Structure formats: structure tokens, C-alpha cells
């Protein structure tokens, strides 16, 4: 049945190729949108520590405008329930939601491994990073996107750094940033020594997140630089709002792509049915049941959807893998990374759409009376 359906498809080669190309384009767009949504869900659900607070400047929503004095650190450390405080300076090329965002994170050398114990060195070494004040540990995706290797120098956001190592982490955010020394970034970004973007505060247990956050903000409430403290997960979710809105809009593009694929396949199969009225009549005369005729037509639609869909889904998967796009907002970076789950979902959607689009044409072909078909032919 499938071999006959395949032969029938390529009897009208140009029409079939154009249909599959349209299906491929629609499924390419669908897969790209699904990948963005999957990447965002992953970073907002699993990209934060349940016992970490982020202390930010009140009413500031961008690293460029959040400035806190570093001397807040010992005061925060004395608050009951606080285990560790890490000062962090962040510099980004764009605070709004944008592609190809570049993020520098300045962290004290002695705190880096504790700040992120999940970092793995792919090339270079941590020792190389500690020896140079302008050294950077560059995330693997960041390095791939910009073609960087250990020993290279590069400039971004007005900051010149030397690549001392390339790092990899299970957290997608860390694969898209460059870690540098805190004093270096303070001076290079012109905020000056003694000023940081935020403090990451580790508490003893998740139950202490809200009480400690309230104590921190109450401590600096009357200061000229008051704070706004939130659990890291809440901070990520708040920061990701613009990205969620942007990706929420793309969901409509994905639905439009699905509708276009459905229409293309349905139209193609209807044309096949109309062009083969005589053949259908002959098959009926040879004893083909209505079910077999319907199955043949449905198989052709299924193959058109599946072949075109597979081409589009796999092309999107490979394209996004090679291009390593990053979406960023307010210092939060989102790697648009394809996953096998999205690949399988795309193939399943292509299969279902091909089948669904073929049901009406298949029913119509099977219900055509034999005498009427022969007279029409």
C-alpha cells in the first residue's frame, strides 16, 4: 500500500515537491517556536537554586542601573540564616529582549567555584583564569557562537578580555556568559571599585528564603540605595517576563504554521483525488473495497505530510544547533537549544497533520459511485 502511494505521489513530481517544500517550511517554523518555548521553560523551571536569594537595587530592572555598595556584604552576612554572600557585577550589551545578547559576570575568584559548582572546564584551565586580571571563562555556546578558542582576545560591551578557558554547564545560562574577575569588570564597565550589580545570598534552608529576604530589605530600607530581595527562581521568572511575552507571541506563528501545513496537504490530496477519478473507478471494478481506496488516498497524504514534515523538523533542529542563538533580557540569557523531545514532537505533529488532512479527501474518494466515476472519466 505504501509503495503504491509513494509511486502515485511522484507521478506528479513538481506538485508533490512544492507541497512537501511548503510543509517543510511550516514545520521548520513550528519546530523553531517549540524550541524557544522549551528552552524558556527549562531555564525558568530548573535554572535556579532553591536556597539562593538575589539582592538587587529597588526599582531597577537592568544590570546597568542596579548599583549597590559592596560594603553591604558584611551586614548581610550577619543576618541570621545567611550561609554565604557573593557579590556579582553584570555587564550586558542590551537590557531589552534581544537575540545574540552578550553577558559578562564579574565574580570574586575565590567565590566562583562555590557560586557555580557545576562548571566543567572544556578547554584551558581555572589556574589560567586566576593568573590574569583580564582573563575570562567563556561558556561553550558563547564561544561557539563567536568562534572563540583559548588564548583568543575579544571585545564586547567596550570590555576587552583574554579567553583563559571554555566552560560547560548543565545550566544553559552558564554556557552563554563570560565569567571575569569582579575588580576587573567593575573598572572596565566604569562603575568603579566597591559597586556591584547584585548579591547572591545562600541561606541555610528553603524555609528561610522569605524571612531572610524581608530582613535584608528592612535593613537597607532607609538607605539611599534600598534593596529588593527575591528568591532566585522568582527573580528569573520576573526577569523572563519580556521573553515570555515575546515567545508567547511566537506561539501564534507556530499555530499558523500548523494550519498552513494542514491546508497544504488537504489541498494536495484533494487535487490527487480529482485527477484520478477514472483510476479510482477501475480499482473499484477490480474489487478494491472502499476502505482500501480510502487507505490508499490517506497513505498518500500521510507520506506528503511526513516526508515534508521530517525535512522541515530535521532542518530546524540542525540549523538551531549550528547557529547557537541566544535570547537575553536584563542579564538573563536563554540559549535556544534544540532537544530530542522537540524533534520527536515535530515528527509526531507532522504525522498527525498528514493523516488529519487526508481524512476528508479519502472519505470523498471512497464514496464516489462506480457508475458516476466512469461517466465522469
pLDDT at 145: 79
> Is residue 54 domain-resident?
no
pLDDT for res 8? 61
- Decide which of 225, 256, 275 is a domain's last residue: 225
Question: Of 146, 235, 17, which is closest to residue 136 (Cα–Cα)?
Answer: 146
For residue 79, being part of any structural domain is answered with yes
Tell me, what's the pLDDT at 338? 79
Residue 230 lies in a domain: no
Strand partners, 230: 54
pTM > 0.85: no
Q: Are residues 69 and 158 in the same domain?
A: yes
Position 79 scores a pLDDT of 93
Instruction: Count CB-CB contacts under 10 A for residue 259.
Output: 12
Residue 202 phi, psi (nearest 5)? -90, 130
Residues 137 and 96 placed together within one structural domain of the fold: yes
What pLDDT does 268 receive? 73
Let me know if residue 65 belongs to a domain.
Answer: yes
- Which cell is 323 given? 547557529
pLDDT at residue 81, rounded to an integer: 92
Same domain, 318 and 254: yes
pLDDT of residue 164: 92
Collapsing DSSP states into helix, strand and coil, what is residue 356? helix
Would you say residue 364 lies in a domain? yes
At residue 137, the pLDDT reads: 92
CA distance 323 to 320: 5
Domain boundary residue among 225, 257, 285? 225
Distance CA 110, CA 302 (A): 59
Are residue 219 and residue 141 in the same domain, yes or no? yes
Environment class of 319 (CB within 10 Å of its CB; exposed 0-12, middle 13-18, buried 19+):
middle
> Are residues 168 and 197 both part of a single domain?
yes
Does residue 207 share a domain with residue 91?
yes
User: What does the alpha-carbon distance between residue 340 and residue 345 come to, in Å, rounded to a whole number?
Assistant: 9
Q: 176 is written with which cell numbers?
A: 552563554
| 285 and 205 share one domain | no
88 and 211 in a common domain: yes
Quick one: 212 and 263 in the same domain? no
Residue 106, in any domain of the structure: yes
Answer yes or no: is 235 within a domain: no
pLDDT tens over the chain, length 377 residues: 556 556 666 666 777 788 888 888 888 888 888 887 777 776 665 444 578 888 988 876 677 778 899 999 999 999 999 999 999 998 887 666 556 677 899 999 888 877 777 788 888 888 889 889 999 999 888 888 788 899 999 888 788 999 999 998 877 677 778 899 999 999 988 888 889 999 999 998 888 899 999 999 999 998 888 998 888 777 766 666 666 666 666 667 777 777 877 787 777 777 666 666 556 666 666 666 767 777 777 787 788 888 888 998 999 888 887 776 666 655 566 667 778 888 898 888 888 888 888 777 777 766 665 445 445 54
Say whether both 189 and 74 belong to one domain. Answer: yes
In a domain, 52, yes or no: no
According to DSSP H, which parts of the chain are helical? 2-9, 13-46, 72-77, 112-115, 126-131, 140-146, 182-188, 209-219, 232-239, 241-275, 277-285, 290-323, 340-366, 370-376
The residue from 172, 194, 225 where one domain ends is: 225
- Burial group, residue 29, by CB count within 10 angstroms (0-12, 13-18, 19+): buried
Residue 210 and residue 75 share a domain: yes
CA distance 306 to 325: 27
The parent domain of residue 294 ranges over 2-44+242-376
**How many whole angstroms from its chain centre is CA 222?**
41
Q: Could you tell me if 247 and 211 lie in one domain?
A: no
What's the number of domains the chain is made of?
2
CA nearest 334: which of 121, 29, 120, 35? Answer: 35
Report the alpha-carbon distance of residue 243 to residue 19 in Å, rounded. Answer: 33
Distance between CA 258 and CA 22 in Å, rounded?
11
Amino acid at each position: 500500500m505504501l509503495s503504491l502511494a509513494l509511486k502515485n505521489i511522484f507521478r506528479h513530481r513538481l506538485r508533490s515537491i512544492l507541497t512537501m517544500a511548503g510543509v517543510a517550511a511550516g514545520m521548520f517554523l513550528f519546530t523553531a517556536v517549540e524550541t524557544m518555548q522549551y528552552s524558556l521553560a527549562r531555564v525558568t523551571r530548573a535554572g535556579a537554586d532553591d536556597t539562593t536569594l538575589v539582592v538587587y537595587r529597588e526599582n531597577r530592572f537592568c544590570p546597568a542601573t542596579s548599583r549597590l555598595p559592596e560594603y553591604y556584604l558584611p551586614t548581610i552576612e550577619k543576618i541570621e540564616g545567611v550561609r554565604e554572600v557573593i557579590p556579582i557585577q553584570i555587564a550586558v550589551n542590551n537590557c531589552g529582549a534581544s537575540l545574540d545578547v552578550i553577558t559578562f559576570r564579574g565574580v570574586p575568584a575565590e567565590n566562583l567555584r562555590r557560586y557555580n559548582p557545576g562548571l566543567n572546564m572544556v578547554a584551558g584551565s581555572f589556574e589560567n583564569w586566576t593568573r590574569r586580571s583580564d582573563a575570562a571563562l567563556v561558556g561553550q555556546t558563547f564561544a561557539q557562537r563567536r568562534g572563540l578558542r583559548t588564548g583568543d582576545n575579544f571585545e564586547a560591551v567596550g570590555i576587552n578580555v583574554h579567553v583563559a578557558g571554555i566552560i560547560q554547564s548543565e545550566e544553559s545560562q552558564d554556557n552563554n556568559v563570560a565569567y571575569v574577575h569582579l575588580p576587573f569588570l567593575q573598572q572596565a564597565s566604569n562603575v568603579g571599585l566597591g559597586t556591584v550589580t547584585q548579591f547572591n545570598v545562600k541561606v541555610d534552608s528553603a524555609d528561610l528564603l522569605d524571612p531572610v529576604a524581608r530582613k535584608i530589605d528592612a535593613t537597607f530600607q532607609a538607605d539611599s540605595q534600598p534593596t529588593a530581595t527575591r528568591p532566585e527562581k522568582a527573580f528569573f521568572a520576573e526577569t523572563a517576563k519580556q521573553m515570555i511575552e515575546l515567545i508567547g507571541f511566537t506561539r501564534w506563528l507556530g499555530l499558523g504554521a500548523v494550519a498552513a501545513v494542514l491546508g497544504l496537504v488537504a489541498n494536495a490530496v484533494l487535487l490527487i483525488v480529482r485527477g484520478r477519478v477514472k483510476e479510482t473507478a477501475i480499482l473499484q471494478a477490480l474489487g478494491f473495497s472502499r476502505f482500501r481506496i480510502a487507505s490508499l488516498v490517506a497513505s498518500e497524504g500521510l507520506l506528503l505530510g511526513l516526508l515534508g514534515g521530517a525535512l522541515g523538523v530535521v532542518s530546524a533542529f540542525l540549523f538551531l544547533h549550528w547557529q547557537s542563538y541566544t535570547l537575553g533580557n536584563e542579564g538573563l540569557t536563554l540559549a535556544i537549544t534544540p532537544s530530542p523531545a522537540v524533534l520527536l514532537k515535530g515528527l509526531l505533529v507532522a504525522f498527525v497533520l498528514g493523516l488529519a488532512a487526508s481524512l476528508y479527501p479519502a472519505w470523498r474518494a471512497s464514496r464516489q459511485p462506480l457508475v458516476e466515476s466512469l461517466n465522469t472519466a
